[in-house]
Amino acid sequence: MTQHPFSKFVAILGRGKTKQRHLTFEESREAMEMLLAGDTHPEQVGAFLMLLRLKEESAEEIAGFAAGTRATFDLPTDLPKVDLDWSSYAGKRVQLPWYVLSVLALVGAGFKVFMHGTEGHTPGRVYTREVLEHLGIPIAQSSPEAAQHIRTSGFAYVPLEVMNPKLKEMINLRPILGLRSPVHSFTRMLNPFSAPAVMVGIFHRGFMDIHAGAAQKLGEDSFAVFRGDGGEVERRPNKPTQVWITHGAEGLEVETWPAMLEDGHAPPDEDMDISRLTRVWDGSDMDDYGIAATTGTMAIALRTMGKADNMEAAQAMADEIWQARDKARIPATG
């Protein structure tokens, strides 16, 4: 039999400890383009993803996978300006998704936010789409529809399967393969509408340098990554938060944002009642943890977008935006 064109990538990753190596940026991009075009066998997909997982992906690989995926996007020619790209791929299981209120407060203040994510790959979690639907915020079913949502409300949420159905299939292999795959990492880097600022939350602390390096390889104008609650873009207000911020191919800042609450222990939310998000928004529920998580996350976003020169100024601006929100109306609703 003639050797399959994709087999070379599996071979590079699986030659053993002494001969295996990371894929280059170009190899990673080519491999992802083949995967998304369906030019592979199912056995190759599983082997490729798990060999990457065992080896642990590199910055070059993450960047190449993101670039290969971006090449598949069918985007309208008249893309609206977006201020911030916000990824949401983990879901929450211990605390409510307060980052949703962070996004909506920024939108209410006039910032345009493009959000993308997925749901359902891990049982027992609350995902962004569920929360947005509960709030009455429409979900875009195409790139043109997302562009229209940005124009009319300043916000769009696009599910992963709308951006590329093959990626959704691969991320849903988690319960079959038993482990997360690099798809969970590089989807956070997609930035479909080319926003000048990108926010990424991760769960594993050792991946910040990989995501920052990938952002530099991709030449992102301003990119922030930090270990967020549950792996989402959400600052944990009861703990210090280290944030890596990159600027283009060279610039890198590492800042440690202080804890916002004196009590370092936050008990799990046993109910995970998403209706509480609405009550905190309208001021009928003054949840100290939720409000701190909301404004603290907003502050990192404002710093990433270059709207504040330091952490203190960013937090002050976030507090002002939160206090000035329209309590009677949640932004971006239909």
CATH number of the domain residue 53 falls in: 1.20.970.10
Range of the domain at 64: 7-70
pLDDT per residue as tens digits for the range 238-274: 999 999 999 998 889 999 999 999 877 788 898 999 9
Is the confidence at residue 122, as pLDDT, over 90? no
Half-sphere exposure of 61 (CA within 13 A, CB side): 22
Asked if residue 76 belongs to a domain, the reply is no
* CATH code: domain of residue 174: 3.40.1030.10
Asked if residues 301 and 322 have their Cβ atoms less than 8 Å apart, the reply is no
User: Which band of pLDDT confidence, cut at 50, 70 and 90, is reported for residue 311?
Assistant: very high
pLDDT at 184: 86
Domain match, 37 and 133 both:
no
Same domain for 182 and 252, yes or no, is yes
Model-wide pTM > 0.75: yes
The two tokens of residue 188 are: 């956070």
- Determine, yes or no, domain membership for 151: yes
| Pair 118, 158 in one domain | yes
End-of-domain residue from the set 70, 100, 124: 70
Question: Final residue of a domain: which of 20, 35, 70?
Answer: 70
Closest CA to 76 of 142, 9, 155: 142
In a domain, 78, yes or no: no
Same domain, 94 and 12: no
Residue 188 has pLDDT above 90, yes or no: yes
Does one domain contain both 38 and 152? no
SS3 117: strand
Task: Of 10-19, 52-61, 143-152, give the lowest mean pLDDT range.
Answer: 10-19
Q: How many domains does the chain have?
A: 2
Q: What percent of the chain has pLDDT over 90?
A: 82
pLDDT in tens, 22-72: 999 999 999 999 999 999 999 999 999 999 988 889 999 999 999 999 999
118, 40: one domain: no
pLDDT in tens, 270-285: 899 999 999 999 999 9
Comparing 303 with 3, the larger pLDDT belongs to 303
Question: Rounded mean pLDDT of the chain?
Answer: 94
255 — phi, psi (to 5°)? -120, 145
Instruction: Let me know if residue 165 belongs to a domain.
Output: yes
299-328 average pLDDT score: 97
| Same domain as 36, residue 121 | no
C-alpha distance from residue 62 to each of 137, 213, 282, 299 (Å): 31, 9, 40, 27
Looking at the structure, tell me whether residues 123 and 192 fall in a common domain: yes
DSSP conformation letters of 10-73? HHHHHS-TTT--PPPHHHHHHHHHHHHHT-S-HHHHHHHHHHHHHH---HHHHHHHHHHHHTT-
Q: Are 106 and 47 in a shared domain? A: no
163-177, 211-225, 301-315: least confidently modelled range: 163-177
> Does pLDDT of 141 surpass 90?
yes
Q: Residue 39 is encoded by which pair of tokens?
A: 């030019």
Q: Evaluate if residue 157 carries a pLDDT over 80.
A: yes
How sure is the predictor about 176, in pLDDT bands with cuts at 50, 70 and 90?
confident
